[in-house]
Amino acid sequence: MKKSRIALSVILGSVVLVSAAAVSIFVVANENTGSVASRSVDLAKVSPASLNDNGALPVQSRGVIDNIKKTSYEPDRIDLTWDAADEAEGYAVYICDRDVSEDYVKANDVKEPEVSIGELKSGTQYWIKIVPYTVIEGETREFPESIKKTATQAGEVDNLHALHSSDDMEIEWTASDGADSYRVYRSVEDGTFTLVSEIKDTDKTTFRDDDVKEGVLYTYKVCANRTLYNGVNYPSEGKTLQLVCGMSAPTDLIATSEASRVHLSWNYNTYATGYNIYYAKGDDELEYLDATERNYFITDKLSAGSTYTFRVEPYYVLGKGKEARGTYTTCSIEVSAAEEKNASAAAGSGTYIEISISQQHLWYYENNELVLDTDVVTGNNDGECNTPTGRYSISSRAVNTTLTGPGYSSFVNYWLGFNGGIGIHDASWRSSFGGTIYNGNGSHGCVNTPYDKVQILYERTSYGTPVIVY
């Protein structure tokens, strides 16, 4: 009598009996799990007690593994676990980079139902084949294989920074390897992130946000993402950037140099707690130099004759050692020799007044060109009437006015105020300027200037013209 033949197929959890004594069984897991298994079994050798109520071999049977899970969320590693296979003594693990090939290579051989495969490419689809085996009388016998279809997480974006942080906010980043989209999330002060944009054009690595309000702290998180054919996403953890709307790059940054030092000054920003200063010599990389809460900064002595680049970046203190940073302004300047002065403006409009107390001298520049310079007499160097140093701007103007104060009343032809009652004006009562006059015979704090020079200043400057005193 001919042996009957039964073929059993289990597809997506359904069982079909055909006919046989020797049978081939194909196990295909649900497509959502991304794993498959196949094997052949001789039913004549199977114990009746192991069959189910329909007389068929159950899917969870000898040597078959199930429940493969990815437990890692890394861009360069895949960790898997699975249910131990009955009678298996070990597992041979093979990997295939499905983005470029259909070939498998052996990755590992493990005794426990878990494996970690490293040194992988980010945002890449990998198929991992797991083959259980046992050793009988020195001979290795393999059980049915299972395949996990998965991927590494997309690599993190890099160099996330602000392009604008004024009336709108714009951020930029460097493209991520393996990503096919970017997701931008935003938090408004409370730490709760909301998806605000999904960018599917990987050539676009910027996001502009015009739904903002000045003075408000915003946190942006950018996640790179890889999506597989079945719609499963493999995003990166994400990089974050905190910005205060309105804390934009310092305007009208001016750099001058004397005695091997560089003097920087800029306009105040309403929302900044202070400013970080970075510098670099020649083509070197910028490095942190110092921080200041003022709107000017004077360096220590630098290498005379060398060109230095400076970056001024506003920051806002958030607490717990954290700070939000704004966009920045950079400038470059050649450092003057020890006894010389290099008063070239490095950024901004290039129109400003510069006053050196130690040199008792004033310079006026228009569009980075020197228009005039003159000796002056500043406040008496006695600790009470000293002219205040810092970055200011012309805030009051007058002609033919009388200046009054404790113990004095002085008529002047031209007045350019820059710090309350402190200003630049002519002083007809003086016959000389400059030198060391201010040591013992200085002003009450103002900058006494020759009549013909202050007349030119008055005619060529206006409200808001920067005044730098150091």
* pLDDT at 14 (0 to 100): 36
Mean pLDDT, residues 131-138: 92
Give the Cα separation of 406 and 426 in Å (integer). 19
459 Cβ contact partners less than 8 Å away, ≥ 6 residues apart: none
Amino acid at 387: T
Give the Cα separation of 233 and 69 in Å (integer). 15
* pLDDT at 44 (0 to 100): 41
3.40.470.10, 3.30.2320.30, 3.40.50.1820, 2.40.440.10: CATH of 352-469: 2.40.440.10
344 Cβ contact partners less than 8 Å away, ≥ 6 residues apart: 255, 256, 333, 334, 368
pLDDT level of residue 54 (50, 70, 90 thresholds): very low
Specify the DSSP class assigned to residue 48: G
pLDDT level of residue 66 (50, 70, 90 thresholds): confident
Return the H-helix or E-strand segment holding 107.
Answer: strand 105-110
Q: Which of 204-208, 248-252, 285-289 has the lowest mean pLDDT?
A: 248-252
Q: What is the pLDDT of residues 255-275, one digit of tens each?
A: 888 878 888 989 889 999 999
* pLDDT at 347 (0 to 100): 57
Q: Take residue 456 and report the two structure tokens written for it.
A: 């030119």
For domain 169-244, the question of CATH label 2.60.40.10 is answered with yes
* pLDDT at 226 (0 to 100): 95
CB atoms within 10 A of CB 209: 18
- 45 vs 411, more confident: 411
Q: Take residue 48 and report the two structure tokens written for it.
A: 């009746």
* Residue 77 scores a pLDDT above 90: yes
3.40.50.2000, 3.30.470.20, 2.60.40.10, 3.40.50.11290: CATH of 254-342: 2.60.40.10
Q: What is the pLDDT of residues 351-389, one digit of tens each?
A: 999 999 988 999 999 988 889 999 999 999 999 899 999
SS3 137: coil
Indicate where the chain has its CATH 2.40.440.10 domain(s): 352-469
For domain 69-151, the question of CATH label 2.60.40.10 is answered with yes
Kindly provide the b/e burial profile for residues 9-21, where b requires at least 16 CB atoms within 10 angstroms of the residue's own CB: ebeeeeeeeeebe
* pLDDT at 6 (0 to 100): 35
Indicate where the chain has its CATH 2.60.40.10 domain(s): 69-151, 169-244, 254-342
Dihedral sign of CA atoms 70, 33, 121, 154 in order: negative
Give the Cα separation of 468 and 265 in Å (integer). 7
- 131 vs 322, more confident: 131
Angle (nearest 5°) at CA 379 between 422 and 338: 115
pLDDT level of residue 320 (50, 70, 90 thresholds): confident
What is the residue-averaged pLDDT of the chain? Answer: 85
Closest Cα to residue 414, out of 426, 405, 406?
426
Give the Cα separation of 251 and 238 in Å (integer). 32
- 155 vs 59, more confident: 155
